[in-house]
Each structure stands twice: as C-alpha cells, then as structure tokens.
Structure 1
C-alpha cells in the first residue's frame, strides 16, 4: 500500500490534521485535536497518526500561525518550539515542509472549488494573475500568490496586520485615537480581528457614555448581525469599512489582478453583510486608479489550508 502524505493546520487552541494521497489535494480523515492535551507539535501529530493507524509517511506539510524560520522557532500563540529534526523523527518521514498559515492559504487558491467561493463584484479574469489572500481571525494575516513562468505558483507571506489602521474620516480618526494606548502605534490587527471587534465596541460605548452590555467578540458579532444592539451594529460597520480599505490597499500595492480572497472564521459569518453593504464600494475607492475589475471572493471552504499544504508537497522545489 502506498504511503500517504500528512497535512496539518496548527493554531493556538486546536491542531487539525488530514491525510492525502501523493499527487492529490483531496483530503481525507480530517480530525481536530485540542492542543491543551499535548506537550508539543510532535506529540499531537503523532497522536493523530496513531489514531489513524499510520506508522510511516511519504511526506508531511504543516501550516502554522507565525513567522517560519529554518532554525527552531516558537509558535505565535502557543509555547511550542518547532524543531524540524524532532518533528521529522516523530512523523517518520524524510520530507517535511513547514509553512506560514497564510502561505498555505495562498497555495490553496488555484485548487478551491467554485462552490466554496462567494464572489463579491469584479470581473472574471484569466486565472494566472497574481492573487492575494487575507483575513481577520485571532490576527490579521495575508499572503500573495504569484504565477511562475515555467508553471506553478510561488506564495509570498506578508504582515498586513502590523500596518497602520487606515482611517479616512473624522469619526474614524477619533475612534482610532480613543482606542490607542499612549506611546503605541495602532496596528490594523488591533481593530480588524476578533479581539478588535470587542475593542471597537467597548470604545464606542465608552465614548457614548453607555455601559458595554456585551463581553465577547462572538456576542458583539451576533448582536450586530441580528440588530439587537446599536453599538454592535456600528462596530461591525467600522470593522467592515476598515477590512475593505485594507483589502483594497493590499490589492493596489500588489496589483492583484487575479483576485482578492478573504479567509478565516469571521469573513464567512458576515458574507451577507459584505454582499449587501458598502464593502465593495470602499474596496474599490482608490482615487485616480480603481479596482472595479478585480474580483473579490470569500472562502467558504472549511479547511482550505489543507489544500495549500497538499499543493506545496506536489510542487517541485523552486
């Protein structure tokens, strides 16, 4: 029996794994494990393989949230040290690729099915143009995907979450100022993330002299979507405006004629608001140049990073 490839998507709370045949991007036997129950990435990955009855692998590709280094490095939201030699030994494989999570998402883009994408405006352009993927979750990640002349793709991880929050109106400026700690630079991911939703909401209620009735990002999002809290509704409006402006800025900087893709857990949950509101208009507004033709998609696939990991294993080394 042919050996299988392992794909993994490692977050701060959960580790997700699946298996894929060599040369394929169709993932099987997907399972989610709680990181608190394990002491290291090697432990949780080996536990998954043991549960699947897998002794040895053909290869493995693991996506992690954080900056990937060649030497040992620490996960961003987990005190696990990633060591390639140790991980290869526990997985019993000679080939291991470790990717940034948005690098894996970028590599997934050519392999996503139409049924798992919701398009919000733009034209249908030739597929082999530069694409970008970004998305708010715990942080605000981004990567670009560039076509190579000889075929295939190159993923280019970025750090969109650490640029300044783009404000354009007096109301936005005042709100950003009220959210900013003295002596700090207000980064985009302080607002355009799950935690950012809560910060915006608390600041809006404080400025209005009202108590903050909601205490979690999930509560703020739900109240905004059902219209039960006016401050939550205003919070989501600001959140969407800033997400649109950041997506437009990134598309303009990279000339992403192949499309902009929104990933993560928040975008799919607000897809109707993105379709119906001002999101597309704000995304396109860039002065002398515009982004009218650039297609924008929301990724609805539950595990797109797995496809990117599989694609990385299928590509020849650059």
Structure 2
C-alpha cells in the first residue's frame, strides 16, 4: 500500500487553515485522524490523501489548491534532509538530493531528473496510483514545492524554462495563477507533468575555495578538497570523480597531486565526516538521523558503523558523554 508522510499532510492542514477551511473536519471525513499528524513517524494511505484533495477542492471551490499547498510547504522541516537541502550549492543539486530521499516524504512519488542536454534538465513527476487515480493536486503540489525549493537555493528570480501539465486548459484566472507561481510559459494537455530548466554550474564557489586554500595552507589542494567536502557532504557527493570534474582534472591527476602533499582522498572524506559528526552531536539538537545525512551517509547503519570505528562508541553514547561534561 502506497503511503504519504505525516509531514506532508501536516503542511496540507496548515494550508487549509490558512485558506479558512475546516481542516480537522476534512481530514476526519477522509479517514485521516487529525490528532495523529503530530507523530512524525506516521504514514497514511494514498487513497485517503486523494479523497482529502477532493474534499478540499469541494469545500474551497479552488481548483488551484494543490499549487497553493505546495507553495506553502516549509523546506527546513522536511524529515531527515530539510537542513541538508538548504546547504545545497544550486537548485539542481537540491532536486537531486530531494529525489534521493523522496521516500522520507512518501512512496507515492517517482520524481526523476533527466539531463536533456549539457545546458538543460527536466524534472519529471511520475506519481504512483494505488487503487484510484491520483488527484492532479498531488502533482501540482509537488511541482510548486520544487519551484519553491529551487528559489530558496538559487534566488527568488529562479524560474523554469517551461512547465508541462497533463490537466486541461483552465480559465484565465487560474492560468494567470500558474504563470505567477511558475514565472514561465505553462503548457496544458501534455503527456506528463514536468519542469524544464537551465542547468547551473557553480564555479564561483570553487574559485573562492581555491583562493582561500592557496592563501591559508602549505598543502593547497588538500585544503581545497577539505573545503569542498564540507560543502558537498549534505548532498551525499563524496566520490573522487565529482571533485576531479569540478577542478577540471582527471581522477588520476587529483590522486597524484594529493599524494604529493602526503594526503589521500579517502582519508580526507573520513576526516571531514568525523569532525562534522562530532561537532553536530556536541553543539546541535539535530537527530542522529539528520546528522548522518548531513555527514553524507544515505544509510543510518553505515553512519553508526563509521562512528564506532572513529570513537569506539555509538553516536548516542558520544552525545550523552559530552552533554555530561558540559554539565
């Protein structure tokens, strides 16, 4: 059975209340106990969510309620990856991370990022139905949320090149709302729901890191990789190939130059992860799961294994020990 997380539904409830709708009554009519939304681990059948969208549209007489809900979602509160998303280098990187952990939000979505060319990419929304057709509001909410995420990362002027919707051509008032939210041409009666956008290559940050490394360390490449790792860990990007490509050198050249400075790429990844995990466990109230992802681990078990290798104790034991010392 396909499900949606309580986080997504809680944000829907906040939108309904903002629009003046009787959110509690709507949720109960859709067989979703309103009081249970506070439990972050709860998940709800997609059929019930589809029914909830139908009830909300009927109550509001607003055919764009999905767009408004998606645009109203809070990014920083996304389970597991909220803070990591806000640290991404550009919109495309944030979308890649969101896709990687999309099941934390729900298993009804299958969002894909396709490279149309070296300069353009397409975000394709293929939501899974379970028993009955999905409401178009589910698609539109996901698309509006993706736009909000991109603008949070890359600036309020970010806009896709084109938006495609499978829904029919709406009235002019609704079409104007679509243009206002998406800031681009919107095509209707299409074969899919998708966003086409220009790919961003952020070389400014790399040049800044290079300048900082060259002026602050006798091992400039080692320091540069450390700085780049600190920035890229939340995205889970820790492969040598990625960093070599950003520096416009081959992997072999990168490894050879690091060896010349007495360093090793794998060891640098380990060192940066170790330092970040210790700092976050000591100085933040983030959950251990969130810290694992901020350190570049996609699996909590892998983080626990690495942490015990570093400190000979679990993350929870380390946090408790340092909390006691602080007291």
TM class by smaller structure: 0.3 to 0.5
Higher helix share: 2
The TM-score normalised by the length of structure 1 is 0.35
Q: Which of the pair has the greater relative contact order for Cα pairs under 8 Å at 6+ separation?
A: 1
Give the structure with higher Rg (CA): 2
The TM-score normalised by the length of structure 2 is 0.34
